[in-house]
Amino acid sequence: MNTPLDRPKALWTPINTTPSVNRYLNYYGNEFATDFIKPNYPYEGPASKTFRKISNLDYSRDWERRLEEMGNGCWAVRRDEMLNPLTADLLAAADLLGGVQHRNSSSAAYGGMGVDESIQCVYLLDGGVGVVIRFYEDDRTNSVEASEQTTIRGPRTYRVLTELLGFDWINRKLPEEDKRPTHEEIQEQVRSLLLKNNQ
Protein backbone atom coordinates (compact mmCIF):
# COMPACT_ATOMS: atom_id res chain seq x y z
CA MET A 1 0.00 0.00 0.00
CA ASN A 2 1.21 3.50 -0.87
CA THR A 3 1.83 5.46 2.36
CA PRO A 4 1.62 9.23 1.82
CA LEU A 5 4.98 11.02 2.03
CA ASP A 6 5.38 13.09 5.18
CA ARG A 7 6.92 16.18 3.60
CA PRO A 8 8.70 18.91 5.61
CA LYS A 9 6.47 21.83 6.54
CA ALA A 10 8.99 24.17 4.88
CA LEU A 11 12.10 23.70 2.75
CA TRP A 12 13.49 27.14 3.60
CA THR A 13 12.37 30.55 4.83
CA PRO A 14 13.81 34.02 4.17
CA ILE A 15 15.40 33.96 7.64
CA ASN A 16 16.43 30.29 7.53
CA THR A 17 17.91 29.49 4.13
CA THR A 18 19.77 26.37 3.08
CA PRO A 19 23.40 26.80 1.87
CA SER A 20 22.49 26.67 -1.84
CA VAL A 21 19.57 29.09 -1.46
CA ASN A 22 21.84 31.44 0.48
CA ARG A 23 24.42 31.39 -2.34
CA TYR A 24 21.71 31.91 -4.94
CA LEU A 25 20.28 34.97 -3.17
CA ASN A 26 23.71 36.38 -2.32
CA TYR A 27 24.79 36.30 -5.95
CA TYR A 28 21.86 38.53 -6.88
CA GLY A 29 22.12 40.62 -3.71
CA ASN A 30 24.93 42.86 -4.98
CA GLU A 31 22.75 44.18 -7.81
CA PHE A 32 19.09 43.47 -6.95
CA ALA A 33 16.81 43.41 -3.93
CA THR A 34 16.15 39.84 -2.80
CA ASP A 35 13.93 40.37 0.25
CA PHE A 36 10.72 39.87 -1.76
CA ILE A 37 11.42 36.25 -2.76
CA LYS A 38 9.42 33.70 -0.77
CA PRO A 39 9.01 29.92 -1.11
CA ASN A 40 6.11 28.60 -3.20
CA TYR A 41 6.38 25.07 -1.73
CA PRO A 42 4.42 22.80 -1.68
CA TYR A 43 3.48 22.39 -5.35
CA GLU A 44 0.72 20.36 -6.95
CA GLY A 45 -0.40 19.11 -10.36
CA PRO A 46 1.69 17.57 -13.14
CA ALA A 47 5.38 18.45 -13.19
CA SER A 48 5.17 18.70 -17.01
CA LYS A 49 3.31 22.01 -16.63
CA THR A 50 6.30 23.44 -14.77
CA PHE A 51 9.25 21.68 -16.46
CA ARG A 52 9.99 20.90 -20.10
CA LYS A 53 12.24 18.12 -21.34
CA ILE A 54 15.23 19.41 -23.30
CA SER A 55 18.08 17.62 -25.05
CA ASN A 56 20.91 20.08 -24.45
CA LEU A 57 21.77 23.64 -23.45
CA ASP A 58 23.55 26.27 -25.49
CA TYR A 59 25.25 27.95 -22.54
CA SER A 60 28.96 28.00 -21.84
CA ARG A 61 31.11 24.99 -22.63
CA ASP A 62 31.99 24.71 -18.97
CA TRP A 63 28.29 24.37 -18.10
CA GLU A 64 27.70 21.82 -20.84
CA ARG A 65 30.67 19.78 -19.64
CA ARG A 66 29.43 19.90 -16.08
CA LEU A 67 25.95 18.83 -17.21
CA GLU A 68 27.46 15.84 -18.99
CA GLU A 69 29.16 14.87 -15.74
CA MET A 70 25.82 15.10 -13.92
CA GLY A 71 24.11 12.39 -15.98
CA ASN A 72 21.56 11.89 -18.75
CA GLY A 73 18.23 13.62 -19.16
CA CYS A 74 17.57 17.30 -18.65
CA TRP A 75 14.44 19.24 -17.67
CA ALA A 76 14.27 23.04 -17.75
CA VAL A 77 11.99 25.35 -15.80
CA ARG A 78 9.33 26.55 -18.26
CA ARG A 79 8.93 30.06 -16.86
CA ASP A 80 12.49 30.93 -15.95
CA GLU A 81 13.10 34.37 -14.53
CA MET A 82 15.62 35.96 -12.23
CA LEU A 83 15.04 35.41 -8.52
CA ASN A 84 12.59 32.62 -9.21
CA PRO A 85 10.96 31.06 -6.10
CA LEU A 86 10.86 27.69 -7.88
CA THR A 87 14.63 27.78 -8.38
CA ALA A 88 15.14 28.53 -4.69
CA ASP A 89 12.76 25.70 -3.76
CA LEU A 90 14.63 23.25 -6.04
CA LEU A 91 17.98 24.24 -4.53
CA ALA A 92 16.59 23.87 -1.00
CA ALA A 93 15.09 20.46 -1.83
CA ALA A 94 18.41 19.28 -3.28
CA ASP A 95 20.21 20.47 -0.13
CA LEU A 96 17.75 18.68 2.16
CA LEU A 97 18.19 15.46 0.17
CA GLY A 98 21.98 15.59 0.62
CA GLY A 99 23.10 17.29 -2.58
CA VAL A 100 26.70 18.50 -2.91
CA GLN A 101 27.34 22.09 -3.99
CA HIS A 102 29.63 23.38 -6.69
CA ARG A 103 29.79 26.97 -7.85
CA ASN A 104 31.79 28.72 -10.54
CA SER A 105 31.74 32.39 -11.55
CA SER A 106 33.38 34.01 -14.54
CA SER A 107 33.45 37.27 -16.46
CA ALA A 108 33.61 37.44 -20.23
CA ALA A 109 32.79 39.63 -23.21
CA TYR A 110 30.05 38.36 -25.52
CA GLY A 111 29.50 40.39 -28.70
CA GLY A 112 31.33 43.36 -27.21
CA MET A 113 29.15 43.22 -24.10
CA GLY A 114 30.56 42.47 -20.64
CA VAL A 115 28.84 39.54 -18.97
CA ASP A 116 29.29 38.08 -15.50
CA GLU A 117 28.19 34.48 -15.32
CA SER A 118 27.55 32.33 -12.27
CA ILE A 119 27.13 28.57 -12.58
CA GLN A 120 25.70 26.93 -9.48
CA CYS A 121 25.27 23.14 -9.31
CA VAL A 122 23.96 20.91 -6.56
CA TYR A 123 24.89 17.32 -7.43
CA LEU A 124 22.35 14.71 -6.35
CA LEU A 125 21.94 11.00 -7.18
CA ASP A 126 22.26 10.61 -10.98
CA GLY A 127 22.35 14.34 -11.74
CA GLY A 128 21.45 17.48 -9.85
CA VAL A 129 20.04 21.00 -10.02
CA GLY A 130 21.89 23.57 -12.12
CA VAL A 131 21.44 27.33 -12.30
CA VAL A 132 23.15 29.62 -14.82
CA ILE A 133 22.84 33.34 -14.02
CA ARG A 134 24.15 36.05 -16.32
CA PHE A 135 24.47 39.74 -15.47
CA TYR A 136 24.93 42.24 -18.29
CA GLU A 137 24.54 45.98 -18.93
CA ASP A 138 21.75 47.29 -21.12
CA ASP A 139 23.25 48.99 -24.21
CA ARG A 140 21.01 52.06 -23.98
CA THR A 141 20.54 52.65 -20.27
CA ASN A 142 23.68 50.99 -18.84
CA SER A 143 21.44 49.46 -16.17
CA VAL A 144 22.31 45.98 -14.97
CA GLU A 145 19.99 43.22 -16.17
CA ALA A 146 20.00 39.49 -15.55
CA SER A 147 18.90 36.25 -17.17
CA GLU A 148 18.63 32.84 -15.59
CA GLN A 149 18.28 29.20 -16.66
CA THR A 150 17.42 26.47 -14.14
CA THR A 151 17.56 22.78 -14.98
CA ILE A 152 17.25 19.38 -13.34
CA ARG A 153 19.59 16.70 -14.67
CA GLY A 154 19.04 12.94 -14.27
CA PRO A 155 15.74 11.01 -14.24
CA ARG A 156 16.10 9.71 -10.66
CA THR A 157 16.92 13.23 -9.45
CA TYR A 158 13.93 14.59 -11.37
CA ARG A 159 11.65 12.02 -9.75
CA VAL A 160 12.80 12.54 -6.15
CA LEU A 161 12.76 16.35 -6.43
CA THR A 162 9.29 16.52 -7.98
CA GLU A 163 8.06 14.00 -5.39
CA LEU A 164 9.45 16.03 -2.49
CA LEU A 165 8.06 19.28 -3.92
CA GLY A 166 4.55 17.75 -4.13
CA PHE A 167 4.00 17.36 -7.88
CA ASP A 168 1.85 14.47 -9.16
CA TRP A 169 3.49 11.06 -9.60
CA ILE A 170 4.81 10.51 -13.15
CA ASN A 171 3.25 7.16 -14.00
CA ARG A 172 5.31 6.41 -17.10
CA LYS A 173 8.89 5.50 -17.94
CA LEU A 174 11.10 8.51 -18.63
CA PRO A 175 13.20 8.25 -21.82
CA GLU A 176 16.48 7.87 -19.90
CA GLU A 177 15.21 5.14 -17.54
CA ASP A 178 15.90 1.43 -18.07
CA LYS A 179 12.66 0.74 -16.22
CA ARG A 180 10.07 2.84 -14.43
CA PRO A 181 10.48 2.80 -10.65
CA THR A 182 7.36 2.42 -8.54
CA HIS A 183 5.90 5.36 -6.69
CA GLU A 184 6.61 3.53 -3.43
CA GLU A 185 10.32 3.17 -4.35
CA ILE A 186 10.68 6.90 -5.01
CA GLN A 187 8.80 7.83 -1.83
CA GLU A 188 11.01 5.48 0.19
CA GLN A 189 14.14 7.00 -1.35
CA VAL A 190 12.94 10.51 -0.47
CA ARG A 191 12.19 9.41 3.11
CA SER A 192 15.59 7.75 3.43
CA LEU A 193 17.50 10.76 2.07
CA LEU A 194 15.60 13.20 4.29
CA LEU A 195 16.29 11.04 7.35
CA LYS A 196 19.95 10.54 6.52
CA ASN A 197 20.70 14.22 5.80
CA ASN A 198 18.53 16.01 8.40
CA GLN A 199 19.22 14.18 11.67
Contact predicate 197/122, CB 8 Å = no
Q: Is residue 71 part of a domain?
A: yes
Residue 13 lies in a domain: no
Cβ contact 35:136 at 8 Å = no
Residue 3 lies in a domain: no
- Going from the C-alpha of 100 to that of each of 91, 97, 124, the distances in angstroms are 11, 10, 7
**In total, how many domains does the chain have?**
1
Asked if residue 136 is part of any domain, the answer here is yes
Q: Is the pLDDT of residue 61 over 50?
A: no
Question: Which range of residues forms the domain containing residue 69?
Answer: 19-197
pLDDT tens sequence across 145-191? 888 889 999 999 999 999 999 999 999 999 889 899 999 999 999 99
Segment 88-126, tens digit of pLDDT: 999 999 999 999 988 665 555 455 556 777 888 899 999
pTM of the full structure: 0.88
Indicate left, alpha or beta for 176 from its phi (over 0: left) and psi (-120 to 50: alpha). Answer: alpha
